[in-house]
Structure 1
């Protein structure tokens, strides 16, 4: 199945959480001079036009990035992420939203590398066009999970692996765990960042249990809910599960999540969460 298009959801509350975590991890990796690999298994189109038919149909960005990108009192933890958004919109009008590959491109240094994979026949050409002049980037059309076998470990032995599947089919919840286990066997010191949607809470509980059963240590869970859990259709929350998180990430997210929740969910419903699934 290849019906999912992120262009309907770009810039929503889930993207705000995902890209905040992504940018903080990249910023931490840059604290050492040694280069690193950014590997994106489900990269999408890279850039999203917010006045497109897709984005306008849902308007999800209006309750996400639009609420925070030009605020003057944003926490310092959001600075790398929000600067990437502003730099893509120099006119001061929110026209484009950067997907995770563009945020990575904005934050990475000359010595760092990008490995981007996308399978969707419409999104792959857009992604390839976005990066065709970037010598740091390799853009491939294929199964992102295969990259966890083919591209790890990187020569630098440093890296961030972002795993962000569409979860179109229920088996994705098992596939991500298998993919992480495969990657970890090859590259146990890498930082793995897994995004997940909360549609049915039981699916997430099962995925977390499966992750515990891998025996992998240092697994941190970060979650932002905009509605209470429900058995009705639709995403109520999203989260990031980070393996080998930078040492500052837990405290950074404990600091910034309450502010994000207040801005994105002014009704005060939902919740935030930062906790260890498996400690050191």
Structure 2
């Protein structure tokens, strides 16, 4: 599939991805030691939700729009607030931040970030979105090559987001091969892989492979409504290798709230699973 982010910025899949990105970055802040964030497919940084692409799909309305307007976030309010504050700070509801702009807001003076973006126009837009910041660097490089080139980072602590557009049939093979090579060099790194679930059998095959390569990885699956032909993307997922120990507990609080707020129809649900282990009971 081709997942051009301009059309989907701020949708339910972005909300899921960026909520958990925020939670991991906050976890990394708990220690005084510096960390590094690596983004393999960084994009342009900021997305105009009133622009022609976003307006055409209007997916942000059922994503970040609902979350910002929700009268009650319940038990998840405290865990969601750092993400929502980062979104508001970028000019919501008219603008939505991509993962680099969100990550930038959680870097301390000692932390660093590398953003890989192969498309020159997107890289130019990203540099403009990030401004002059000594902590961050945008590199025009294929993200898979970048992850290999930039691991292990000097800080030895940190995370990488692998978030490709899924334009190629061999995308999952490239993710798996790159992840394996990166883990060989940076065994303690946190790796978060985002997936648009259009072909469930392909996703299941990938997750089985990750279960063998990185037992204990946390899989989060989220569905906004029952998938059906002709409908927009309704199911998405994350695979988190070396997840922070607090993340499962936080997910148990966050996911019910997101399911309630972002449900588009019957079939809205979530699941948690330790790959190579048992499913985590939902609550």
Q: Per the shorter chain, which TM-score range?
A: over 0.9
Q: Which of 218, 221, 225 is the equivalent residue of 1:220?
A: 218
Q: Which residue of 1 aligns with 2:83?
A: 81
Counterpart of 1:122 in 2: which secondary structure?
Answer: helix
Contact persistence 2:190–2:240 (CA under 8 A): yes
Once superposed, what is the RMSD of the aligned Cα atoms?
1.9
Q: Which residue of 1 aligns with 2:281?
A: none
Runs of at least 5 residues in structure 1 that lack an aligned partner in the other structure:
none
When structure 1 is superposed on structure 2, of 26-35 and 223-232 the one drifting more is 223-232
- Cα distance change of structure 1 residues 198 and 4 upon mapping to structure 2, 3 Å threshold: closer
Counterpart of 2:250 in 1: which secondary structure?
Answer: helix
1:174 and 1:250 map into 2 onto residues whose CA distance is 27
Superposed displacement of residue 62, structure 1: 0.2
Q: Structure 1 length as normaliser, TM-score?
A: 0.93
Q: Which residue of 2 aligns with 1:235?
A: 233
2:86 and 2:267 map into 1 onto residues whose CA distance is 29
Superposed displacement of residue 70, structure 1: 4.1
Q: Structure 2 length as normaliser, TM-score?
A: 0.92
Superposed displacement of residue 278, structure 1: 2.9
Counterpart of 1:107 in 2: which secondary structure?
Answer: coil
Q: Which residue of 2 aligns with 1:18?
A: 17
Q: Deviations over 1:155-180 (max 9, x none)?
A: 11101100000111121111111111
Q: Which residue of 2 aligns with 1:45?
A: 44
2:176 and 2:52 map into 1 onto residues whose CA distance is 34
Contact persistence 1:199–1:234 (CA under 8 A): no
Superposed displacement of residue 279, structure 1: 5.0
Q: Which residue of 2 aligns with 1:99?
A: 98
Q: Deviations over 1:86-124 (max 9, x none)?
A: 1112xxx51110100010011111110010011123312
Q: Which residue of 2 aligns with 1:29?
A: 28
Superposed displacement of residue 61, structure 1: 0.1
Superposed displacement of residue 231, structure 1: 6.5
Contact persistence 2:224–2:267 (CA under 8 A): yes
Superposed displacement of residue 128, structure 1: 2.0
Q: Which residue of 2 aligns with 1:154?
A: 153
Runs of at least 5 residues in structure 2 that lack an aligned partner in the other structure:
279-283
Superposed displacement of residue 79, structure 1: 1.3
2:269 and 2:126 map into 1 onto residues whose CA distance is 34
- How many residues align? The count is 275
Contact persistence 1:220–1:241 (CA under 8 A): yes
1:36 and 1:29 map into 2 onto residues whose CA distance is 7
